[in-house]
Amino acid sequence: MTQPAGLIAPGTHYEPLIGGKRRSFTGETFLAIDAANGGRIATITRSGQAEVDAAVAAADAAFPAWAATPAPQRARLLHRLADWVEENLTRLAAIDTMDIGRTIFETPIDHRIAIGQYRFFAAAAMTHFGWNQAVPGGWAIAMREPIGVVGQIIPWNVPAIMTAFKLAPALAAGNTVVLKPDENASLSTMELCVALAEIFPPGVVNVVPGFGDEAGAALTAHPGVGKLAFTGSAEVGRLVAHAGAERLVPVSLELGGKSPNIVFPDVEDVDRVVDNATFAATYCNGQSCLAGTRLFVHDDLYETFLGKLRTSFEAVRLGSPSDPATRLGCLVSAKQGERVLDYIASGKREATLVTGGGRAAVDGSERGYFIEPTVFETANDTRIAQEEIFGPVLSVIRWKDYDALIEQANDVDYGLAAGLYTTDLRNAMRTASRLKAGSVWVNQYFNLVDGSPFGGYRGSGLGREYCAETLDMYTQLKSVVLAEELPPPLFG
């Protein structure tokens, strides 16, 4: 099977964007495959050391002029990029749906979030200047300056959002960029290169598609890169951090999660809580570092809640990603599908399966890995409750003692996000303060707001994205102290 007509022309080949032009130094390519039906969509250059070297050189050459570009002008270009995404949103969303198997119901939301990021950082760039104050006999000034060439690596689950999360603050702050998209989800980013080449001066943004152990490794180790930014697994994040440490360059990391989602006994509308908890675990096909995959339900309403949760999960419509009525598509690849099925098999051995637990067949998409929305009753110390599965699999844990709940909620390697449902303000605030998580959502999971810090504690990474403070990660702070006159002589 092939992709729907009009999205990407048959025989399309994407080359890296280097210095404002499409350039390759190798004949090696890889395929972009339709996640649902296995059809060939396009070929993409498999970038290696030569492409990375050229991209870094182009970014380095472009840096002085871009860093000197006034913030209002950088902001205007970011707004132009947002306008382009807005004009092409329908097509870009459909391309992502083919590329990664996420539903056409969801992928437009990704691009709207991306648009919001480009516009947010266009505005934030206008006010990010450091500070100054008068001191006896002069002035003290702290100046914010861009770092230089930034190397960025993004994952496959939400490519539009991840691209915006990385490009928007780096460009707003005056840096130039070499971006490596994931080999499983390059298409919408490569399409974005059309706008990047048209809007920004040559070399300001460079895109090198390829594999992590080739293009990614070359980028993280490159001596011309002044900062590294990575989103992905904790295992690879440690390698990126090590590469940064060896060269003493700053590194920001957004890694995995195993987020607790807590139901208090005082909730009034149980059905709506069940619905939101279902959404928290199945959005993005469960392939989200934010997913609320550990659901703690109070003993007082546990049996009632679990029954409603089972009904809710069984009502999630699983089907073709391109069908607007579908709410759960397929996983990004066979490799990811087998990984999730392995976790489900582990859950069947050590926990109690409530619903789901298998691979579903979808007519016309037989190659896709469609995983039934799956619920387990389990304890917090099982493998499925401790490790990030990245699929539509929810662990439900009964709780009664509040202090024990908090201990268990925090008893994982991660600390990216958390949710809770309560009508009691005291419950909400004291619990939010005790949860070791970078984002805590009360009564609405995934409640992302432009400008709110996003990032994690512990194994979930270093730094914060999505907020004005992100610009601090992409700048250096220089101290300048001016005296009105020379000091009195000390020697003679």
Q: Render pLDDT for 61-102 as a digit per residue (tens, 0 to 9).
A: 999 999 999 999 999 999 999 999 999 999 999 999 999 999
Residue 206, beta-bridge partner list: 178
Q: What is the pLDDT of residue 4?
A: 46
Distance CA 123, CA 125 (A): 5
Contact 74, 126 (CB under 8 A): no
Contact 122, 82 (CB under 8 A): yes
* Tokens at 75, concatenated: 């902001």
Distance CA 259, CA 489 (A): 63
Give the number of other CB atoms < 10 A from CB of residue 484.
8
Q: What is the pLDDT of residue 128?
A: 86
* Tokens at 434, concatenated: 């005790």
Q: Using one digit for the tens of pLDDT, what is the confidence trace for 406-452?
A: 999 999 999 999 999 999 999 999 999 999 999 999 999 999 888 89
Residue position matching structure tokens 């991306």: 114
Which pLDDT band, with edges at 50, 70 and 90, does 130 fall under? confident
In angstroms, what is the C-alpha Rg of the chain? 24
Which pLDDT band, with edges at 50, 70 and 90, does 5 fall under? very low
Above 50 in pLDDT, residue 1? no
Q: Using one digit for the tens of pLDDT, what is the confidence trace for 181-239?
A: 999 999 999 999 999 999 999 999 999 999 999 999 999 999 999 999 999 999 999 99
Q: Using one digit for the tens of pLDDT, what is the confidence trace for 276-312?
A: 999 999 999 999 999 999 999 999 999 999 999 999 9
Residue position matching structure tokens 């119901």: 105
Residues serving a catalytic function are 254, 289
For the chain, the average pLDDT equals 96
Percentage of residues in the chain having pLDDT higher than 70: 99
Mean pLDDT of 29-47: 96
pTM beyond cutoff 0.85 = yes
Contact 41, 98 (CB under 8 A): yes
Q: What is the pLDDT of residue 139?
A: 93
Above 90 in pLDDT, residue 132? no
Mean pLDDT of 465-485: 94
Which pLDDT band, with edges at 50, 70 and 90, does 6 fall under? low
Q: Using one digit for the tens of pLDDT, what is the confidence trace for 348-400?
A: 999 999 999 999 999 999 999 999 999 999 999 999 999 999 999 999 999 99
Give the number of other CB atoms < 10 A from CB of residue 254.
28
Domains of the chain are: 13-255+456-478 (3.40.605.10), 260-442 (3.40.309.10)
Distance CA 413, CA 13 (A): 41
